[in-house]
Amino acid sequence: MPATKTWPMKKLPAAVAIGLALWAASIPVSAAESGDTYAFIFENDLFYHTDRDYTNGIELSWSPSETASGVLPAFISSLIPQPFAQGDNRASYSLGQLMFTPEDTASTDPPTSERPYAGYLYGAYALTNTIESRQDVLRIQLGMVGPASLAQDSQTFIHRLRGFALPQGWHTQLRDEPGLVISYQRTQNMVSATPGEPSNYDIKAHFGGAIGNVFDYIDAGTVARLGFNMPNDSGPPQIGPALPGSYIYEPQKGLGAYLFVGIEGRAVGRNIFLDGNSFEYSRSVAKNPLVGDFSVGGAVTFDNYRLSFIHMFRSQEYRAQKGFDEFGTLCLSFNV
């Protein structure tokens, strides 16, 4: 099937992305009491001896110690009833890369029934607002899908470094396309010994969704935690779409730890990594409109440091997929 020439539409996501990026960069900040928070997230199915579907994700995040103010928080407050009207607004900046491959990586022409090769390189700006036992997060993510994501280069480098066989089908990956995702999540504390304060157990529910040419979905779920001297957060962060977690957290003095279990359901309208490119022909597979995640894991904290690991089970995302996905999420966060 030949490529569809819709150049004006192809340029629209890039124009919107550039405008939003300039807008976010112009936001002024003012001083606050808490320190900067840094997070490094590494997700990979190698933890469970597979190399297919969602095979690797990496993200670096920085949340400055200032309280965000200016144009964007005011705009959010005008759009969404009361989530950012009061409380502490904190900004976060992230840079990440996602990688997807079919199961048959030895073939130069992978079966069309398997997920296509794809990569995504992105930057993101998020605004987190915390009011007592509630947290709201709005995130604007801008990036590139396709060869410009450098996913092929990253996987080739790692496989050579570790002496693994090189994937042979990256020339069939999705085409270059600018990516835009705007997502919103609300997390509410449902059960806790001291709502809005550090506790030894809690249950939190969340709901939200995303819109853009990369992902369109609505989601809802819950997370239960049990531990001691737990930081006041919503669990460790993961690379979305996934349980929301907390990039920003309030560290507690001394040693702390918790175990947690979470579940989330998503109704998916679009997933570019399954549906293929928006404006031209590419490989694609028939996706499942309903996807479920089940995660179990734990975190250890000591003063300003938090180390966590999550075992994720994800239901079949497309019809021909062989069973569910498993991958691990390792996250190191520190507050200075």
Check residue 89 and give its pLDDT: 79
CA distances to 64, 178, 189 from 137, in Å: 15, 23, 15
Confidence grade of residue 79 (pLDDT, cut at 50, 70, 90): low
Check residue 230 and give its pLDDT: 87
Residues comprising the chain, all counted: 336
Check residue 162 and give its pLDDT: 86
Residue predicted with more confidence, 40 or 252? 40
The percent of residues above 90 in pLDDT, for the chain, comes to 58
Q: Which of 82-91, 147-156, 257-266 has the lowest mean pLDDT?
A: 82-91
Q: Which two tokens stand for residue 124?
A: 């993101």
Spacing of C-alpha 32 from chain mean position = 26
Q: Which of 128-132, 168-172, 322-326 has the lowest mean pLDDT?
A: 128-132
Check residue 21 and give its pLDDT: 38
Using the predicted structure, report yes or no on whether residue 192 has a pLDDT greater than 90. no
Confidence grade of residue 12 (pLDDT, cut at 50, 70, 90): very low
Q: Is 320 left (phi over 0), alpha (psi -120 to 50) or beta?
A: alpha
Confidence grade of residue 51 (pLDDT, cut at 50, 70, 90): confident
Tens digit of pLDDT for each residue in 94-152? 999 999 999 999 999 999 999 999 999 999 999 888 887 888 899 999 999 999 999 99
Q: Which two tokens stand for residue 310?
A: 């999550």
**What single string gives the DSSP state of each residue in 219-285?**
EEEEEEEEEES--BSSS---PSSS----SS-B--SSEEEEEEEEEEEEEEEEEHHHH--SSS-----
- For each of the domains in the chain, give its residue range(s) and CATH number, in order of start: 7-335 (2.40.128.140)
Check residue 60 and give its pLDDT: 96
* 3-state secondary structure at position 134: strand
Using the predicted structure, report yes or no on whether residue 16 has a pLDDT greater than 60. no
Using the predicted structure, report yes or no on whether residue 65 has a pLDDT greater than 50. yes
